[in-house]
């Protein structure tokens, strides 16, 4: 029983979970409004979209790379979704599928370029960020698409059960799916193996290139999903969707214990990371604190989280040395 | 003097007959294959193309405006370059640039300091924020990517909090003048400032111990350390210098627009990221560190500015410019890959 | 002949400036542990790289079960049945034991659920066979180094390897863990597994191996001889050759000169205990020891890279406060020629002039405002010429030079710096005989001019050629010291005795506490 507890304490999601629970308790004591059904609905809506953004980046962190183009892919998918419905009058489910396809394709393009050229993912995704964002602006000329079907707006904002919004459903499916993928399916294990030690993964017969492409493909798909959901949430196809995703996309996985050199990510941890970020956002609104402080807090959280991870690493190395001596 | 000549003679002796390590040496070929030459060729090709399509491209005003924009872009490129040579990145260049500009604006407007002290203050803020990045990086041992990602958010957030997102518009005329002035009707003083900074950077990397040590640290931190170079100090200095240069770029924008505006580099200063990387990467600065090309960065950033101006002028692609810039970056790194593998095969480097 | 599992014939491998392997042969029998020995630079690691598919041989053939074998990369070698346990761990730290073992086999379909129970069951079979009592479900990062090694062996066996290559498997094991490993290896041998065992520790080789191949200067010093009848001295003789390479220089005694560098009873953060050492003006002190004795680490502690936690370091008979390498180089004039010249000694992507000049920039920049190439050239060229660095120009990138010329550059840089104390670590690894002789003369000459030199080398003839006194280290402690009488057999015997004593001292407490 004791060792079980110790195990929990060692796990990545334990710290974020404590913080989340503590934050909820403290905030609701100071302001009971916090747990009102309406506020919960707002919280869950924000978590639903932001979780996909964070998971999209998490898949790339898992292979030890970074994807600067998460926001640009999301934005491109969002305006494609809006545009196809407004201009081509395509029914919304088909438009959503096509927009997802665009995200998938964008991710595959990133992955193929990284794997094939060997150029760092940073440069490739910086270039593709600019390309995707440029296509977005080229199509929209910076004007939003307004004619969004009512059903999409409804799905983007309404609840189906108590405070539970429709948007939470796809996020739950994705989170469970990714957890299953990373825990039980060879593809997921290969992604983590490549991130953990690409050299020995290669020696064990894993195709590093294919795995990298797969991870980028999943990342693109999830970013597109987040973009599409935001169209429903905002009730218009904003070209600026995705512009401010970058910091959050790194903050949440890192708070959730992800190691930036790859091989270690946690779906649960990332979800808790998103929750913490969303709660902080809400608190600043509820207590009328300057919303721009969110940025400071986000940056501070990243530093705190990488600091904690680093400290753990150093400690682990020290224990290892002691064992060896 | 005599000594030097003798030494030079001996070089000829020692290095004359024993050409065994490299297979071939074609000076002309080497020149043709340098990045700088490629960039100059591209600049000429596009200049001719744009002029043919729209003679307005070479009008006095167009050249002036292009030079003035290039001045800022080149400075942003330099700011990133001095960190890239350590093998790191600085995502917070935009954030620091805006902070420095806002600091200078505040000193001028709210404290009423003379304009020169305000500028120095702004640059000081830039340098201090850069140094802060550097110190956290060397102390924590973490990669500069994540540290500067966090600090870009923190610096920008604190700045917005302190200024309540308001602008400073009472900028001293001495500061605004260079942004409007024209020499010979075409040359902006801002461009001249950029050239001076480029010259200083060239001197730094070629003729000072500090600059050479920075490059050695970037190329191989272990070898540099065991040769008695203070690796951590050099890394911090590179980041501080990056902050100062970002500050210069920010102040140039203040001079051009006549105001210090929090949104002048976009959300969190992210608008600077692409130009910051385009210049050095096009200019042949290795992202893994250890090599810098001041001229290359200058030419690269100039090419980017020229393409943007030209495309906007032709009005065929106002909204697509960013796509072209992204493609340019992609093509540039691919070309660079090909060039390097070609040179490696021919053992020309 | 039919019981020969794996064989190499006439293997040649050439690198720029060096013949790394020249007509090397060995054959590995079924159910045998075959020792592969050789000093640093003898060609051992090149042979390993060819056997594991990293390098392609320039000549000669590999045979597996009598059929010629061509390897296309390390992955191919593993697929064809050559299992390797490398010195560096090749496991995925956060994955479980069984998953690491069977990563190979998960490939059936990327979206088919992994049956962990089945994996654990299969893994348990191999773990039991190796006597490794561990739950196959726990991540390998929670295992000790010794157990990780057993997991790697299990992995290789599970992949049905015909040949198992063990590269320095005991390097980071305690004596007790080593005994365990040997018990496992013996059992495997009796089951018919063929192993190639690479080690620096001769006691171990004699204990566990039944046949031996020794390499020296890229050639077979002996080919697949039975271990029986070979004494320890015989093997050492095979490895380091005869004394005839030793030039007929005068024995010197410089202990009368004032001491330049003294260590008094120092303890370091990385494990040195009670180390005493002194180097006098114009003296060459050799530091001998087996790999892992803590010599390079001691050098780096002197340089201030690792913390000295107790005791005193004296330079010119004054206590020296060295807190980082910059202090050691700049203030106390201590230079260090690294054994790892590609990552620690040189900046490969920079030119000859930049590399040699690295240590003089600071000094030159103080005098003149501008540090010009011309000034650096004037300062460094005499030394570049003195060392006869062969490069088409001073602008040539050091990475494109041959090993010998690279080493000359890394020595020239310290001559240019004008150091008083020079620590030279394995100066002749990977360089040709001619350059080696030249370097020896140069080091001797330097000491004659008054430089105090601390020489770290595992090359016994080199040690006896150069050193005036030889200090023997083992397990981060100084075991004793010998004056060099320049007589090969006496010296090597003396050194071996000191190390041997050390090993016995080491073993006894372990046996006392089981």
pLDDT in tens, A217-226: 999 999 999 9
- Return the H-helix or E-strand segment holding B321: helix B321-346
Task: Give the start-end residues of each E strand in C281-415.
Answer: 284-288, 308-315, 318-319, 334-337
Indicate yes or no: CB of B161 within 8 angstroms of CB of A122.
Answer: no
pLDDT tens per residue, range A289-318: 776 777 888 888 888 888 887 887 777 766
Query: CA B269, CA C116: separation in Å to the nearest integer?
Result: 48
Residue B113 pLDDT greater than 60, yes or no: yes
Q: Taking the C-alpha atoms of B42, B43, B44 and B46 in order, what is their torsion angle to the nearest 10 degrees?
A: 80
Query: CA C487, CA C464: separation in Å to the nearest integer?
Result: 8
Smallest CA–CA separation between A315 and chain B, in Å?
Answer: 14
Query: CA C222, CA C234: separation in Å to the nearest integer?
Result: 11
Report the range out of A246-260, B21-35, C32-46, C230-244 with the highest average pLDDT: A246-260
Query: CA C37, CA C458: separation in Å to the nearest integer?
Result: 13
Percent of chain B's residues with pLDDT above 70: 89
Domain boundaries, position B326: 57-339
- Residue among C329, C390, C401 whose CB faces B228 most closely: C329
Query: CA A263, CA C361: separation in Å to the nearest integer?
Result: 42
What ipTM was estimated for this complex?
0.84
**Res A4: pLDDT:** 65
* C-alpha atoms less than 13 angstroms from C-alpha of C389 in its C-beta half-sphere: 32
The residues facing C219 across adjacent strands are C216
Calculate ∠ Cα A181-A183-A188, nearest 5°: 45
**Res A47: pLDDT:** 95
Contacts of residue B284, Cβ cutoff 8 Å, sequence gap at least 6: B34, B35, B36, B291, B293, B296, B336
Q: Are A229 and A156 contacting, i.e. CB atoms less than 8 angstroms apart?
A: yes
| Region label for A205, one of left (φ > 0), alpha (ψ between -120 and 50) or beta (otherwise) | left
Summarize the confidence of residues C225-252 as an average pLDDT.
74
The sheet with strand C33-37 has its strands ordered as C82-85, C163-167, C194-198, C33-37, C211-216, C219-226
The residues facing C83 across adjacent strands are C164
**Res C513: pLDDT:** 35
Query: CA C71, CA C104: separation in Å to the nearest integer?
Result: 19
Indicate yes or no: CB of C326 within 8 angstroms of CB of B220.
Answer: no
Helical ranges in chain A per DSSP H: 2-10, 14-30, 37-62, 70-86, 92-117, 121-140, 150-157, 168-184, 186-196, 198-203, 208-234, 246-255, 267-286, 293-324
Q: Is B224 on the interface with C (CB under 8 A)?
A: yes
Indicate yes or no: CB of B153 within 8 angstroms of CB of A113.
Answer: no
pTM of structure? 0.85
What is the DSSP code (8-state) at residue C107?
Answer: G
Write the DSSP string, B154-182: HHHHHHHHHHTT--B----HHHHHHHH--
Residue C510 pLDDT greater than 70, yes or no: no
Structure-block tokens of residue C80: 């064809």
**Phi, psi torsion values for C78, nearest 5 degrees:** -65, -45
Indicate yes or no: CB of A196 within 8 angstroms of CB of C107.
Answer: no
Residue B104 pLDDT greater than 90, yes or no: yes
User: What is the location of CATH 3.40.50.300 in chain C?
Assistant: 4-240, 245-252+282-306+319-512
Q: Are C414 and C422 contacting, i.e. CB atoms less than 8 angstroms apart?
A: yes
Domain residue ranges in chain A? 2-324
Q: Which CATH superfamily is domain C245-252+282-306+319-512 in?
A: P-loop containing nucleotide triphosphate hydrolases (3.40.50.300)
pLDDT tens per residue, range B296-348: 999 999 999 999 888 888 876 678 888 988 998 898 888 888 877 877 776 54
Percent of chain A's residues with pLDDT above 90: 56
Summarize the confidence of residues A116-126 as an average pLDDT.
90
**Res B20: pLDDT:** 37
Q: Which of B9, B21, B218 to mutate to test the interface with C (most CBs of C within 10 A)?
A: B21
Cβ count near A151 (within 10 Å): 12
Pick from A186-200, C195-209, C344-358: least confident: C195-209
**Res C275: pLDDT:** 92
For chain C, what is the mean pLDDT?
85
Q: Are C439 and C425 contacting, i.e. CB atoms less than 8 angstroms apart?
A: no
Q: Is B208 on the interface with C (CB under 8 A)?
A: yes
The residues facing C165 across adjacent strands are C84, C196
Q: Is C75 on the interface with A (CB under 8 A)?
A: yes
Q: Which residues of C touch B216 (CB under 8 A)?
A: 347, 350, 354, 358
Task: Check residues C435 and B237 and name the one with the higher pLDDT.
Answer: B237
Query: CA B288, CA B290: separation in Å to the nearest integer?
Result: 7
Query: CA C495, CA C490: separation in Å to the nearest integer?
Result: 9
What are the Cα distances from residue C506, in Å, to C175, C344, C474, C501?
A: 9, 32, 9, 8
Indicate yes or no: CB of C111 within 8 angstroms of CB of A192.
Answer: no
Residue B105 pLDDT greater than 70, yes or no: yes
- Residue among C326, C347, C381 whose CB faces B7 most closely: C381
Per-residue pLDDT band for A16 (boundaries 50, 70, 90) equals confident
Residues in B 19-58 with any Cβ partner in C closer than 8 A: 19-22, 25
Pick from A45-49, A257-261, C30-34, C230-234: least confident: C230-234
Summarize the confidence of residues B133-159 as an average pLDDT.
92
Indicate yes or no: CB of B20 within 8 angstroms of CB of C390.
Answer: yes
**Res C368: pLDDT:** 59
Q: Which of A6, A205, A315 to mutate to test the interface with C (most CBs of C within 10 A)?
A: A205
Report the range out of B258-262, B338-342, B344-348, C475-479 with the highest average pLDDT: B258-262
The residues facing C455 across adjacent strands are C286, C424
Q: Are C83 and C156 contacting, i.e. CB atoms less than 8 angstroms apart?
A: yes
Residue B160 pLDDT greater than 50, yes or no: yes
The residues facing C351 across adjacent strands are C397
Smallest CA–CA separation between A5 and chain B, in Å?
Answer: 30
Residues in A 264-293 with any Cβ partner in C closer than 8 A: 264
Q: Which residues of A touch B334 (CB under 8 A)?
A: 117, 119
Q: Which residues of C touch B227 (CB under 8 A)?
A: 325, 329, 358-359, 413
Q: What is the end-to-end Cα distance of chain A in Å, rounded?
A: 31
Per-residue pLDDT band for C509 (boundaries 50, 70, 90) equals very low
- Residue among A196, A202, A204 whose CB faces C93 most closely: A196
Residue C128 burial class via C-beta count within 10 angstroms: exposed 0-12, middle 13-18, buried 19 and up:
exposed
Residue A319 pLDDT greater than 70, yes or no: no
In a domain? residue B109: yes
Question: How many structural domains is chain B composed of?
Answer: 1
Indicate yes or no: CB of B4 within 8 angstroms of CB of C378.
Answer: yes
Please tell me which chains touch B, using 3 or more CB pairs under 8 Å as the contact test: A, C
Place of tokens 């590399």: C355
Indicate yes or no: CB of A295 within 8 angstroms of CB of B142.
Answer: no
**Res C389: pLDDT:** 84
In a domain? residue B22: no
In a domain? residue B349: no
Indicate yes or no: CB of A189 within 8 angstroms of CB of C74.
Answer: no
Q: Are B133 and B92 contacting, i.e. CB atoms less than 8 angstroms apart?
A: yes
Residue B19 pLDDT greater than 50, yes or no: no
Contacts of residue B84, Cβ cutoff 8 Å, sequence gap at least 6: B280, B285, B286, B287, B289, B292
**Res A296: pLDDT:** 85
What is the DSSP code (8-state) at residue C244?
Answer: G
Indicate yes or no: CB of B225 within 8 angstroms of CB of C305.
Answer: yes
**Res C511: pLDDT:** 37
How many helices and strands in chain B, by DSSP H and E?
15, 0
Indicate yes or no: CB of C371 within 8 angstroms of CB of B11.
Answer: no
Q: Is A312 on the interface with C (CB under 8 A)?
A: no
**Res C497: pLDDT:** 81
Per-residue pLDDT band for C221 (boundaries 50, 70, 90) equals confident
Q: Which residues of A touch B267 (CB under 8 A)?
A: 243-244
- Residue among C326, C354, C365 whose CB faces B208 most closely: C365
Q: Are C3 and C65 contacting, i.e. CB atoms less than 8 angstroms apart?
A: no
CATH architecture of the domain with range A2-324: Orthogonal Bundle (1.10)
Query: CA A269, CA B240: separation in Å to the nearest integer?
Result: 35
Q: Which of B227, B237, B292, B293 to mutate to test the interface with C (most CBs of C within 10 A)?
A: B227
- Residue among C78, C103, C111 whose CB faces A193 most closely: C103
Write the DSSP string, A89-140: ---HHHHHHHHHHHHHHHHHHHHHHHHHH---HHHHHHHHHHHHHHHHHHHH
Q: Which residues of C touch A264 (CB under 8 A)?
A: 94
pLDDT tens per residue, range C55-113: 889 988 999 988 899 988 888 888 888 888 887 778 898 899 999 998 877 777 778 88
Structure-block tokens of residue C139: 């991540």
Task: Check residues A72 and C397 and name the one with the higher pLDDT.
Answer: A72
Indicate yes or no: CB of C350 within 8 angstroms of CB of B216.
Answer: yes
Q: Which residues of B touch A66 (CB under 8 A)?
A: 145
Q: Are C242 and C255 contacting, i.e. CB atoms less than 8 angstroms apart?
A: no
- Residue among A117, A122, A127 whose CB faces B337 most closely: A117
pLDDT tens per residue, range B283-306: 888 788 888 899 999 999 999 999
**Res C508: pLDDT:** 40
- Return the H-helix or E-strand segment holding C406: helix C403-417
Residue A325 pLDDT greater than 50, yes or no: no
Summarize the confidence of residues B102-120 as an average pLDDT.
94
Summarize the confidence of residues B14-22 as an average pLDDT.
36
pLDDT tens per residue, range B57-84: 888 888 999 999 999 999 999 999 999 9
What are the Cα distances from residue C107, in Å, to A187, C14, C272, C384?
A: 8, 38, 47, 55
Percent of chain C's residues with pLDDT above 90: 26
In a domain? residue B195: yes
Q: Nearest-CA neighbor of A10 among A301, A280, A264? A: A264
Q: Is C93 on the interface with A (CB under 8 A)?
A: yes
Place of tokens 């290789």: C156
pLDDT tens per residue, range C272-295: 999 999 999 999 999 988 767 889
Residue B5 pLDDT greater than 50, yes or no: no
| Region label for B112, one of left (φ > 0), alpha (ψ between -120 and 50) or beta (otherwise) | left
Orientation angle between helical segments A246-255 and A70-86, nearest 10 degrees: 120
* Radius of gyration of chain A measured on its C-alpha atoms: 20
Indicate yes or no: CB of B136 within 8 angstroms of CB of A303.
Answer: yes
Q: What is the end-to-end Cα distance of chain B in Å, rounded?
A: 31
What are the Cα distances from residue B327, in Å, to B240, B278, C439?
A: 31, 11, 53
Per-residue pLDDT band for C242 (boundaries 50, 70, 90) equals low
Cβ count near C29 (within 10 Å): 17
Smallest CA–CA separation between A117 and chain C, in Å?
Answer: 20
Smallest CA–CA separation between C25 and chain B, in Å?
Answer: 31
Residues in B 135-164 with any Cβ partner in C closer than 8 A: none
**Res B18: pLDDT:** 35
**Res C255: pLDDT:** 87
Q: Which residues of C touch B347 (CB under 8 A)?
A: 400
Residue B155 pLDDT greater than 90, yes or no: yes
Helical ranges in C449-487 per DSSP H: 460-466
Calculate ∠ Cα A197-C297-C352, nearest 5°: 80
Class in CATH terms, C4-240: alpha beta
Indicate yes or no: CB of A117 within 8 angstroms of CB of B327.
Answer: no
Query: CA C411, CA C390: separation in Å to the nearest integer?
Result: 14
């Amino acid at each position: 029983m004791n060792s079980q507890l110790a195990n929990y304490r060692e796990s990545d999601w334990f710290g974020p979970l404590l913080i989340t629970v503590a934050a909820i308790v403290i905030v609701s004591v100071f302001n009971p409004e916090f747990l009102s059904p309406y506020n919960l609905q707002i919280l869950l809506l924000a978590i639903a979209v932001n979780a996909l953004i964070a998971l999209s980046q998490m898949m790339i962190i898992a292979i030890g790379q970074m994807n600067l183009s998460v926001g640009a892919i999301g934005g491109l998918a969002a305006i494609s979704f809006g545009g196809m419905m407004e201009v081509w009058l395509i029914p919304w489910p088909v438009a959503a599928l096509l927009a997802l396809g665009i995200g998938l394709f964008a991710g595959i393009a990133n992955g193929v370029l990284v794997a094939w050229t060997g150029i760092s993912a940073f440069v490739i995704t910086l270039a593709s960020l600019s390309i995707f964002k440029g296509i977005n602006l080229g199509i929209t000329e910076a004007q939003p698409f307004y004619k969004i079907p009512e059903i999409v707006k409804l799905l983007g904002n309404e609840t189906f059960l108590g405070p539970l919004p429709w948007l939470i459903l796809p996020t739950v499916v994705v989170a469970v799916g990714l957890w299953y993928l990373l825990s039980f399916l060879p593809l997921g294990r290969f992604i983590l193996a490549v991130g953990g030690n690409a050299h020995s993964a290669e020696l064990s017969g894993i195709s590093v290139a294919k795995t990298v492409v797969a991870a980028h493909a999943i990342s693109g798909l999830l970013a597109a999903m987040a973009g599409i959901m935001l169209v429903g949430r905002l009730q218009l196809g904003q070209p600026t969707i995705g512009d401010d995703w970058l910091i959050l996309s790194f903050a949440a996985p890192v708070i959730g214990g992800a190691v930036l050199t790859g091989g270690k990510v946690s779906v649960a941890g990332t979800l808790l990371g998103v929750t913490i970020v969303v709660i902080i956002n809400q608190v600043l609104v509820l207590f009328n604190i300057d919303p721009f402080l969110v940025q400071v807090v986000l940056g501070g959280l990243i530093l705190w989280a990488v600091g904690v991870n680093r400290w753990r690493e150093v400690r682990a190395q020290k224990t290892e040395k002691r064992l060896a001596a | 003097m005599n000594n030097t000549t003798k030494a030079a003679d001996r070089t000829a002796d020692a290095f004359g007959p024993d050409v065994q390590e490299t297979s071939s040496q074609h000076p002309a070929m080497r020149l043709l294959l340098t990045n700088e030459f490629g960039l100059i060729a591209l600049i000429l090709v596009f200049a001719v193309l744009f002029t043919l399509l729209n003679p307005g491209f070479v009008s006095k005003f167009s050249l002036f405006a292009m030079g003035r924009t290039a001045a800022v872009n080149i400075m942003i490129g330099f700011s990133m370059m001095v960190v890239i040579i350590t093998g790191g990145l600085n995502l917070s260049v935009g954030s620091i640039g805006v902070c420095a500009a806002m600091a200078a604006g505040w000193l001028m407007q709210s404290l009423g300091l003379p304009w020169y002290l305000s500028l120095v203050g702004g640059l000081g803020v830039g340098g201090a924020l850069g140094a802060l990045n550097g110190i956290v990086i060397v102390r924590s041992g973490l990669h500069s990517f994540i540290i500067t990602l966090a600090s870009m958010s923190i610096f920008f957030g604190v700045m917005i909090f302190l200024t309540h997102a308001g602008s400073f518009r009472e900028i001293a005329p001495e500061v605004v003048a260079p942004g409007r002035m024209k020499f010979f009707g075409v040359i902006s003083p801002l461009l001249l400032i950029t050239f001076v900074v480029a010259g200083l950077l060239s001197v730094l990397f070629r003729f000072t111990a500090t600059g050479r040590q920075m490059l050695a640290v970037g190329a191989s931190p272990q070898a540099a350390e065991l040769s008695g170079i203070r690796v951590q100090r050099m890394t911090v200095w590179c980041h501080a210098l990056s902050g100062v240069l970002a500050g210069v770029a920010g102040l140039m924008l203040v001079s051009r627009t006549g105001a210090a505006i929090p949104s002048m580099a976009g959300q969190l200063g992210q608008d600077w990221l692409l130009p910051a990387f385009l210049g050095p990467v096009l200019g042949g600065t290795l992202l893994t560190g250890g090599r810098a090309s001041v001229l290359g960065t200058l030419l690269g950033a100039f090419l980017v500015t020229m393409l943007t101006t030209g495309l906007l002028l032709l009005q065929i692609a106002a909204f697509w410019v960013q796509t072209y810039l992204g493609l340019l970056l992609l093509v540039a790194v691919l070309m660079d890959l090909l060039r390097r593998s070609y040179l490696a095969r021919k053992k020309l480097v | 002949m039919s019981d020969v599992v794996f064989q190499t014939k006439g293997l040649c491998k050439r690198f720029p400036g060096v013949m790394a392997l020249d007509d090397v042969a060995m054959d590995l029998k079924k159910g045998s542990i075959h020792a592969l020995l050789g000093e640093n630079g003898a060609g051992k690691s090149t042979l390993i790289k060819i056997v594991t598919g990293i390098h392609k041989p320039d000549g000669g053939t590999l045979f597996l079960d009598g059929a010629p074998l061509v390897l296309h990369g390390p992955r191919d070698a593993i697929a064809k049945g050559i299992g390797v346990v490398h010195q560096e761990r090749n496991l995925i730290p956060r994955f479980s034991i069984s998953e690491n073992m069977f990563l190979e086999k998960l490939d059936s379909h990327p979206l088919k659920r992994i049956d962990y129970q089945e994996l654990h069951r299969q893994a348990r079979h191999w773990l039991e066979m190796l006597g490794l009592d561990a739950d196959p479900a726990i991540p390998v990062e929670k295992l000790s180094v010794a157990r990780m090694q057993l997991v790697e062996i299990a992995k290789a066996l599970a992949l049905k390897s015909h040949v198992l290559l063990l590269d320095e498997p005991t390097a980071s094991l305690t004596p007790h863990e080593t005994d365990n490993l040997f018990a496992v290896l013996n059992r495997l041998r009796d089951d018919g597994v063929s192993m190639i065992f690479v080690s620096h520790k001769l006691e171990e080789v004699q204990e566990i191996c039944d046949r031996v191949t020794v390499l020296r200067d890229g050639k077979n010093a002996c080919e697949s001889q039975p271990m029986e009848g070979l004494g320890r001295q015989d093997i050492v003789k095979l490895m380091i050759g005869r004394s005839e390479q030793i030039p007929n220089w005068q024995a010197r005694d410089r202990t009368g000169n004032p001491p330049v560098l003294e260590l008094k009873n120092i303890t370091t953060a990385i494990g040195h205990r009670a180390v005493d050492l002194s180097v006098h003006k114009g003296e060459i002190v050799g530091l001998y020891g087996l790999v892992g004795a803590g010599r390079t680490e001691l050098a780096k502690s002197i340089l201030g890279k690792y913390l000295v936690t107790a005791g005193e370091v004296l330079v010119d008979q004054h206590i020296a406060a060295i807190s980082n390498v910059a202090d050691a180089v700049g203030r106390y004039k201590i230079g260090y020629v690294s054994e790892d010249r590609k990552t620690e000694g040189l900046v490969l992507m920079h030119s000859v002039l930049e590399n040699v000049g690295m240590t003089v920039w600071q000094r030159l920049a103080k005098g003149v405002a501008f540090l010009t190439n011309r000034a650096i050239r004037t300062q460094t060229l005499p030394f570049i010429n003195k060392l006869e660095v062969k490069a088409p120009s001073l602008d040539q990138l050091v990475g494109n030079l041959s090993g010998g010329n690279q080493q000359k550059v890394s020595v020239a840089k310290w001559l240019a710096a004008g150091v008083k104390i020079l620590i030279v670590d394995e100066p002749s690894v990977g360089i040709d005989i001619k350059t080696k002789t030249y370097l020896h003369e140069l080091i001797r000459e330097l000491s004659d001019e008054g430089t105090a030199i601390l020489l770290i080398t595992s090359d016994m003839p080199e040690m006896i050629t150069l050193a005036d006194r030889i200090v023997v280290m083992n397990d981060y402690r100084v075991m004793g010291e010998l004056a060099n009488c320049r007589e090969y057999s006496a010296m090597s015997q003396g050194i071996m005795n000191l190390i041997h004593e050390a090993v016995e001292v080491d073993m006894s407490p372990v046996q006392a506490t089981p």
